[in-house]
Amino acid sequence: MALLEVERLTKFYGDSRALSDVTFKIKKGQFVAVIGPSGSGKTTLIRCINRLIDASDGSIRYDKEDILALKGAALRHARAKIGMIFQHYNLVYRLTVIENVLHGRLGYKSSIAGVLGMYTEEEKTKAVEVLQLLGLEDYVYRRCDQLSGGQKQRVGIARALVQDPRMILCDEPISSLDPSSAKIIMDYLRRIQKDLGITILVNLHQVDVAKRYAERILGFNAGHLVFDGPPSELNKKRIHEIYGTEAGELIID
Amino acid sequence: MSSLLIEKTSPTAYFRKQKLTLTLFLLGMIFVSWGASVLTQFDLFDAFAAIPRVAAWMTANLLPDAKAWSRLPRILDKLWDTILMSVMASVAASVVSFVFAILGSVTTRPNGVFAFLARTIASINRNIPVAAWAMIFLLSFGQSSFTGFLALFFATFGFLTRAFMETIDEASASSVEALRAAGASYSQVIAQAVIPASLPQMMSWVLYMVETNIRSATLVGLLTGSGIGFMFSVYYKSLQYRSASLVVLSIVVVVLAIELISNAVRRVIL
Ligand SMILES: Nc1ncnc2c1ncn2[C@@H]1O[C@H](COP(=O)(O)OP(=O)(O)O)[C@@H](O)[C@H]1O
Ligand SMILES: [Mg+2]
């Protein structure tokens, strides 16, 4: 049974088409990487899935729900079940680590409880557990602007995890990190998928990273899904098709 | 770096060109200043030459005497009124500005219509100087401290709304997106992301407006017959320059003190 079904998804920005007729399904618990040159529609795809932007046409089903038809409280609830991780972490840097992590619970709370920041003991305990899982137990009450990039991204992952999501969307989670922090983050994503069974859909800039971590790769070019298969099928020729003329200059180990 | 390579310019030529541009700019400025002084018949040299004479005249006629000092309590009293009025106008305006900024900022606008209205009202307000506001309310409310308050309030409101909108967009756009993605409601996003991320910068703007308003309050007081500005005009018109200059001195001291205080507060909150 597929967790996510994207069918004939199309997105226009004004007259320009960012996604064309994109169709794919993702099974529960898969680790899927999305690759493609910049401007090929990777971010647009991810944002259409949790409705940060509205698709122009097509359908998205997540956990049996018709995402594009949702409104108000129902949309909030669907979003709560999808985690998201950003290239620039998108934390509230003046708040502490645990305050940022607890933001992941807002989708489940009444508006007023969320406004006042009234979290249950259970939620707080859960937040601390998740931080331990990510090796941040010594930073629970630290302000986020005092953390390194890799630590900030781990807070971002923790915030997504306390949502109890079935799937986590990641938009270039390692593009702002040095190689060793990047490896730590990718390893955590893999552990989350293997140990917790959470589906990972991750946009990546680096083909080699996608091949190393993903079970399945989606390749985009100019808004079209031009590759959909396991890393083993992603040979030079297919990479060339995804990246077009840039391929000759690609650095692949 | 890359643009250098593309244009095939050598570094030497590049920096020579930069120096040339700077020289031309300075020559242009000198020419414009000279032209302006000719047109306005303002002779810079004469003006400088007059400085010693003016200084001598000032010491002879503007130094506060015993009579002026005896008026100090009354002056301080009015000064205090002025400070209070500036703080009140700034704080009241900041509350209204906050609401307008939430409605108008790209990050938090609930819909396009509100955003357009909020932005339009704020930008009209911002383009009317405080002295014009004073005159507008003078016509409707006559000379009173309420008129002065209103003038400061509206001028502050226009400025702060714009400053707050920029602060919200700069400080909170990315975290707002993250909270929306996690399913947070609009009011949760405002309370949990927008306010904590932008409040310190907003408070810094309010402090700036308190400083600015204490300065403008003097001017507004001249027009609306209230506060320290009124005090000044009374002494000035009755040719009591020594007392008038004590008023000016005390304003300067207060403005400096407020600036020191608000800088200290800024260091703590930012
Ligand atoms: N807000 C927007 N308005 C207009 N065009 C956009 C917007 N966001 C993205 N685009 C365009 O849509 C296309 C896909 O962008 P994006 O999804 O960001 O690609 P990627 O993440 O693969 O780099 C690009 O051509 C980009 O210029
Ligand atoms: Mg992108």
DSSP character string of B53-101? HHHHHHHHHHS--HHHHHTHHHHHHHHHHHHHHHHHHHHHHHHHHHHHH
Query: Phi and psi for B262 in degrees, rounded to 5?
Result: -70, -30
Tokens 């009140």 — which residue?
A: B88
Instruction: Verify whether ligand 1 is closer than 6 Å to residue A43 (CB atom).
Output: yes
Q: Does B178 touch chain A (CB under 8 A)?
A: yes
Q: Does B18 touch chain A (CB under 8 A)?
A: no
| Residue B3: pLDDT over 70 | no
Cβ partners under 8 Å of residue A96, min gap 6: A140, A141, A142, A143, A144
Q: Which amino acid is at A72?
A: G
| Residue A246: pLDDT over 70 | no
Measured distance CA(B221)–CA(A5) in Å, rounded: 68
Measured distance CA(A247)–CA(B86) in Å, rounded: 64
Nearest protein CA to atom 1 of ligand 1, as residue: A13
Single residue among A164, A183, A209 that ends a domain in this structure: A164
| Residue A253: pLDDT over 50 | no
Report pLDDT for B1: 44
Same domain, A202 and A214: yes
Same domain, A140 and A171: no
Same domain, A4 and A49: yes
Q: With beta carbons under 8 A apart, name residues in chain B contacting A95.
A: 196
B110, HSE (Cβ side, Cα atoms, 13 Å) = 11
Query: Phi and psi for A147 in degrees, rounded to 5?
Result: -95, 160
Structural domain harbouring A94: 90-164
Same domain, A53 and A153: no
Fold of the domain spanning B67-269: MetI-like fold (1.10.3720)
Query: Phi and psi for B126 in degrees, rounded to 5?
Result: -65, -30
- CB neighbours (10 Å) of residue A45? 29
Q: Hey, are the CB atoms on B178 and A84 less than 8 Å from each other?
A: yes
**C-alpha distance from residue B20 to each of B15, B17, B24 (Å):** 9, 5, 6
Please, which residues bridge with residue A13 across strands?
A16
Report pLDDT for A122: 96
Measured distance CA(A234)–CA(A217) in Å, rounded: 8
| Residue A252: pLDDT over 70 | no
Same domain, A144 and A239: no
- Hey, CA dihedral for A171, A175, A176, A179, is it positive or negative? positive
Measured distance CA(A191)–CA(B99) in Å, rounded: 44
- Which ipTM was obtained for this model? 0.94
Q: Hey, are the CB atoms on A114 and B200 less than 8 Å from each other?
A: no
Q: By CB neighbour count within 10 A (0-12 exposed, 13-18 middle, 19+ buried), where does B97 fall?
A: buried
Nearest protein CA to atom 3 of ligand 1, as residue: A13
Which carries the bigger pLDDT value, residue A155 or residue A250? A155
How near does any CA of chain B get to the CA of A137, in Å? 23
Q: What is the average pLDDT across A112-130?
A: 96
Which listed ligand is nearest to A243 at the C-alpha?
1
Q: Hey, are the CB atoms on A76 and B193 less than 8 Å from each other?
A: no
Q: What is the average pLDDT across B51-75?
A: 85
Cβ distance B193 to A116 under 8 Å?
Answer: no
Same domain, A205 and A240: yes
Report pLDDT for A96: 97
Same domain, A158 and A174: no
Q: What size, in residues, is chain A?
A: 253
Measured distance CA(B49)–CA(A176) in Å, rounded: 60
* Model confidence pLDDT, tens digit, residues A74-89: 999 999 999 999 999 9
Report pLDDT for B39: 80
Which listed ligand is nearest to A16 at the C-alpha?
1
To test the pocket of ligand 1, the residue of A9, A35, A44 to mutate (highest count of ligand atoms within 8 Å of its CB) is A44
Q: What is the average pLDDT across B119-135?
A: 90
Least confident of A84-98, A218-232, B168-182, B230-244: B230-244
Report pLDDT for A225: 97
Report pLDDT for B10: 79
Q: What is the average pLDDT across A17-22?
A: 96
Count how many domains chain A has. Answer: 2
A210, HSE (Cβ side, Cα atoms, 13 Å) = 29
Measured distance CA(A95)–CA(A86) in Å, rounded: 18
Q: Which amino acid is at B193?
A: A
Report pLDDT for B229: 87
Of the pLDDT bands very low, low, confident and very high (cuts 50, 70, 90), residue A137 is: very high
Cβ distance B108 to B102 under 8 Å?
Answer: yes
Single residue among A106, A137, A164 that ends a domain in this structure: A164
Q: For residue A231, what is the domain's CATH number?
A: 3.40.50.300
Report pLDDT for B7: 54
Report pLDDT for A200: 98
| Residue A21: pLDDT over 90 | yes
Same domain, A104 and A186: no
What are the extents of the domains in chain B? 2-61, 67-269
| Residue B97: pLDDT over 50 | yes
Same domain, A169 and A250: yes
* Model confidence pLDDT, tens digit, residues A157-195: 999 999 999 999 999 999 999 999 999 999 999 999 999
* Alpha-carbon torsion angle B125, B131, B133, B134, nearest 10: 160
Which site among B174, B194, B198 would you substitute to test the A interface, given the most A Cβ atoms closer than 10 Å to its Cβ? B174
Report pLDDT for B17: 86
| Residue A126: pLDDT over 70 | yes
| Residue B128: pLDDT over 60 | yes
Instruction: Verify whether ligand 1 is closer than 6 Å to residue A104 (CB atom).
Output: no
Measured distance CA(A1)–CA(A59) in Å, rounded: 17
Of the pLDDT bands very low, low, confident and very high (cuts 50, 70, 90), residue A247 is: very low
Q: What is the average pLDDT across B199-220?
A: 91
* Model confidence pLDDT, tens digit, residues B15-47: 888 888 899 999 998 888 888 878 877 777 788
Same domain, A75 and A130: no
Single residue among A114, A132, A164 that ends a domain in this structure: A164
Q: Looking at chain A, which residue has its C-alpha nearest residue B270?
A: A94
Report pLDDT for B219: 85
Report pLDDT for A166: 96
Report pLDDT for B50: 86
Report pLDDT for B5: 45
Report pLDDT for B4: 43
Cβ distance A85 to A158 under 8 Å?
Answer: no
Instruction: Verify whether ligand 1 is closer than 6 Å to residue A206 (CB atom).
Output: no
Which carries the bigger pLDDT value, residue B18 or residue A51? A51
Report pLDDT for A250: 55
Q: Hey, are the CB atoms on B181 and A50 less than 8 Å from each other?
A: yes
